[in-house]
Structure 1
Amino acid sequence: MFWFLVQLGIASILLLFSTAATWYEGSAILNDPWEWKHSTPFSQLFYDEVQSSNQISQLDHFIYAAKFLPTFPVIMVISSIYLLILIGYHFFRRRHKWFAYYLSFLGGGLFLLSYFIYNSPTTGGKIFFYIWLLSGVCCAVAAIISYFQTLDRNTNEVIN
């Protein structure tokens, strides 16, 4: 339990720090009006077209930072994935089959995210594509291994 809390604390602090840094770096969109049309999807939900920097949503700061300044957004995403896996393992550590299903669901979500930005022309988009794709593959492989270890354990208990 101690190591779980240490890992949870470190990953949470890293997530909070990288989120704040990402939000700060993404605020550069306020001074980049030629990018408002392409990097403000949340603001465009509220306003058809962004006319001034006052109309830009705080969430669009993260989009802009992920596209053009991806260092802190990458740290944010990796720490988020790590936290999701850590929390899932903590809740399902005695139910290996459920943990395998959880990893499968998480891997599917990561594959879906990578699909949405498959053709991104920006460097940040390409980086996120590969991070989400690789993370999805790792979750799927871990789910398969966990599932078959559970089957192997159950088979050995029946035989013995």
Structure 2
Amino acid sequence: MKYIFQLVIATLLLLFFTFCTWYEGSEILDNPWEWKYSTHFSQMLNDQVVDANDISVLDYFVYAAKFKPLFPSLMIITALYIIILLGSMLFKRSAKKIALFLSGLGVLLLLLSRLVSNSPTAGGSFFNTFFLTSGIISVLIAALYYYQMPERHKTGV
């Protein structure tokens, strides 16, 4: 029951932060000089962005993350919390599976860090540092969790 309450609250927060990010990112419609650099999804769909109507909603999130990273970072933190909560619910009987899950999450975060590492914006730098730090912490916790558990917990018994 305690997991369900946490999951419901975190999901509501995620929805709120997602709406705030979407709203802040919609500012891209008013900044045509930024379309070339912040409309990656739209350019994949339309080849080039000529009009505000060509901009994908996903690019709102890119723009918000680059220039107004508060709500996108809260959104990502909440999503990570939900993912870790679901992982702990799913694998609570096996330390080995939890360690593997956290390792995989850490590698994914490190890959995301690499993906945004060349961004010249303040938001890009923030997310690079955030993903890098979170990825390292996740891998370290996975290793500590695995190596600190008694043998009977590693097998899931």
TM more than 0.5 = yes
Give 1:117 deviation, angstroms.
1.1
| Alpha-carbon RMSD | 1.3
Q: Indicate yes or no: 2:66 matched with 1:67.
A: yes
Residue 98 (structure 2) aligns with: 99
Q: Deviations over 1:46-85 (max 9, x none)?
A: 1221000000001000000000111100000000111111
Structure-1 separation of matches of 2:120 and 2:78: 25
Corresponding letter in the other structure for 1:85: I
Give 1:155 deviation, angstroms.
7.1
Give 1:5 deviation, angstroms.
1.4
Structure-2 separation of matches of 1:4 and 1:32: 42
Corresponding letter in the other structure for 1:149: Q
Distance 1:64 1:148, change over 3 A: same
The unaligned stretches of length 5 or more in structure 2 are none
Structure-2 separation of matches of 1:86 and 1:130: 23
What are the equivalent positions in structure 2 for 1:60-139 lying under 5 Å apart? 60-139=59-138
Larger radius of gyration, structure 1 or 2? 1
Give 1:119 deviation, angstroms.
2.1
Structure-1 separation of matches of 2:152 and 2:68: 50
Residue 30 (structure 2) aligns with: 31
TM-score, normalising length: structure 2: 0.94
Q: Deviations over 1:119-150 (max 9, x none)?
A: 21101101111111111111101100111133
The unaligned stretches of length 5 or more in structure 1 are none
Structure-2 separation of matches of 1:129 and 1:29: 22
Q: Indicate yes or no: 2:151 matched with 1:154.
A: yes
Structure-2 separation of matches of 1:11 and 1:127: 23
Corresponding letter in the other structure for 2:54: Q
Structure-2 separation of matches of 1:9 and 1:100: 25
Q: Determine what percentage of the aligned residue pairs are the same residue.
A: 48
How many aligned positions are there? 153
Residue 17 (structure 1) aligns with: 16
Q: Indicate yes or no: 2:41 matched with 1:42.
A: yes
**SS of aligned partner of 2:50:** coil
Would you identify which runs of 4 or more consecutive aligned residues in structure 1 move more than 2 Å?
none
Structure-1 separation of matches of 2:147 and 2:128: 29
TM-score, normalising length: structure 1: 0.92
Structure-2 separation of matches of 1:42 and 1:36: 11
